[in-house]
Structure formats: C-alpha cells, structure tokens
Amino acid sequence: MGRARWLGVEGVIGFVYFIIYYYHMKTLLLLLVTTILINTKNCPPNCLFCSSPSSCQACNPPFSLTLSLTCTTSSISNCRIYSAPSQCSICQPTFMLKNNQCLKDTSGCIIRDKDGRCVVCWFGTRLSNG
C-alpha cells in the first residue's frame, strides 16, 4: 500500500513537470511566432524574412535576393542571387553562370564556386582537373 501511494505521488510530480514543460514550450512557440511576425513587418519591400529592417534573408516569389540583402525582380532565369537588378552573381544548383545567363550544367556538377570550378558532383561522378 505504501508503494502504491508513492507511485501516486510520482504520477502527480510527473504531471506537474509536464504542465510546466507544456507552459514553457507554448511560451517559446508564441515568442518565436511573434518574432517572425515582427521581423516580417519591418522587412524591406518584397522580403519574406529578415534579420533586421535592412537585411533580407529570403524574398517572396518571384523576387530574388541580392548581395546587398535586398530583393529584386527575378529577370534572369534560374539566377539565385543578384549583384545588381540585371546582373546575376550565383545561379541555382545544377546551373552555371556564363555571360550573365544561368545555363543548365550537364557536366555532372551540382555546385560551382564563384570562379566556376566544380565543388560538388552528382552521385556517380567525381571531380577532375579540367
């Protein structure tokens, strides 16, 4: 009988811990949602999420991010990041930048560095010189 009573106390203690945990998680979730909404409200034009009123981290479609962390109209197909409104700096994965255009990369390269060298290859292919 004493043992059953002890388990009952443990159950109550566990329940109290659960309530405290639930309350803290609910508070953290509310804080996160509020922070996102506040950040979205103070973002630059066409920005989906920003870290400050002048630094966009992601743009609303169909806009694209620039190197200055603002949003610009996507004028070049498959461009990921622009250095100026009509100047592509980085293409989407599996595309390579050539003459300010993002062309499909059929070499087996997924990601290239800023100098055009392959950094990551498709499965079944490997990096080689040239």
The answer to whether position 130 is within a domain reads: no
Residue-number span of the structural domain to which 36 is assigned: 1-41
> Mean pLDDT for the chain?
75
Q: Are residues 37 and 57 in the same domain?
A: no
The answer to whether position 122 is within a domain reads: no
Q: For residues 64 and 80, is the Cβ–Cβ distance under 8 A?
A: yes
Q: Which tens digits make up the pLDDT trace of 42-57? A: 788 898 888 888 888 8
Q: Which tens digits make up the pLDDT trace of 19-48? A: 666 665 666 666 565 555 555 567 888 988
**What is the Cα–Cα distance from 37 to 23, expressed in whole angstroms?**
21
What is the per-residue pLDDT for 5?
46
Q: Are residues 1 and 22 in the same domain?
A: yes
Closest CA to 117 of 125, 109, 72: 109
Q: Are residues 3 and 31 in the same domain?
A: yes
Q: What is the mean pLDDT of residues 69-98?
A: 88
